[in-house]
Chains A and B, each alone.
Chain A
Amino acid sequence: MMTTVAKMMVLAVVCGLLLSTGYLLSGDQITQNQQALELQQLTAVIGDPDIVLVPTQIATKSAAKTPGAAHYRLLRHGAIFGQLRSVSTPNGYNGKIRFWLATTLDGEIIGVRVIEHQETPGLGDKLDLDVSDWVLGFNGASLTTHTFDVKKFDGDFDQFSGATITPRAVIVAMAEELKQQQANGSNQ
């Protein structure tokens, strides 16, 4: 007759083995799936099949700590064309909003895609490309040609009816990032 403790230990070991086996069998495929999905999403942000994404060192280092906080250099026919990085802002109506921002070396926006938010469905969720094509309105914009604010505050970009905080949070964070890139020189 085994003691209670021994029984639980045996069971825990068996369950552990079962899970390890499951993970060993599926782990590689899952990592592949994850990378494929991410690459697919990023390629969609840029929308140009000629452009190759090269993860930079910042990406690999920070990605280990916070998944998704990444940075890519964009190469077109072997020459650096621009960059793609994830930007996040805490100023959404319901907290954090995270988006991908792809820019050329001159600071012109290639594409924007919101990847994480908790904005109110029906009001603030027009950030989502599934819901509206608001994010496409930024394509081609830059600090020199556009005023980065919503129309209500004399900017160039649409607000959502009933929700100004959400689009403003994104636009302000985007402008900040563009300014910073300008200040750093556009090599990084």
Chain B
Amino acid sequence: MTPAAITRDGLWENNPALVQLLGLCPLLAVSNTLINGLVLGCLTIFVLVSANGTISLLQRWLDDATRLPAQILIIATFVTLADLLLQYGSFELHQRIGLFVALIVTNCVILGRAEAFARKQNLGLALLDGFSMGLGFLFAILALSGLREALGHGTLFAHAELIFGVNAASWEINLPNDGILLAILPPGAFLLFGLLIALKNWIDLKIEQRKAIRNTETAPG
């Protein structure tokens, strides 16, 4: 695969959340505010990149019997490091989403990329794949959490001070709408996520149609 194809795959065509529907547990649970989503997305990128890199480096050394347990062990190690990192950086934020940071380890995107991609590729491609898949996940969780925060709380960037320091407290944007409770509750997460997937599919369809039209236009006769 070319680097460009890997990037496109992770971000759009094979987006881990919107197409592969992996990692939904943290995605749906933490996407209640934009800041929570941002932090979880970034930690996921960290884990994906480090795990992919390590597993790519160890590919010769691991055999069929040790491969899966070794991958899980490596992923769990990086998730624990990410957890420590969050406690180190923002303990208060860890109090809010800490439970779901530990659950990154069960995010199938990570084992999926390790097993399907990183263990057969060179370091550079494995890192790139981890990064683009992570970025794809981050985009999806940002879209969902922005939508849920705007609809559910009527705010955006609330509690930004938890990661960006005291000055960021003023980033909070109050929208004119009142919060719709459903958007914050778990069913709302499922509904909005469904709508996001539908939107992505609709965009894909439009792109396809445009391509088809262009092909017929250029076709001879």
Contacts and interface: CB of A to CB of B under 8 A. Distances in A.
Interface of A: 4, 7-8, 11-12, 15, 18-19, 22-23, 26, 29-30, 33-34, 36-37, 121-122
A122 B87 CA distance: 29
A22 B74 CA distance: 14
A26 B92 contact: no
A23 B88 CA distance: 10
Interface string B28-45: 000000000000000000
Contacts of A29: 88
B2 interface: no
A37 B95 CA distance: 10
Given A30-B91, A34-B91, A121-B181, A4 B84 contact: no
Contact of B91 (A7, A33, A121, A122): A33
Interface string B7-19: 0000000000000
B81 interface: yes
Contacts of B92: 37
Interface stretch (B57-65, B132-140, B206-214): B57-65
B185 interface: yes
B77 A18 contact: yes
Given A7-B62, A7-B66, A19-B80, A30 B88 contact: yes
Contacts of B85: 26
Nearest to B91: A33
Contacts of A37: 91-92, 95
The 4 closest A-B pairs by CB, nearest first: A33-B91, A15-B77, A122-B181, A26-B88
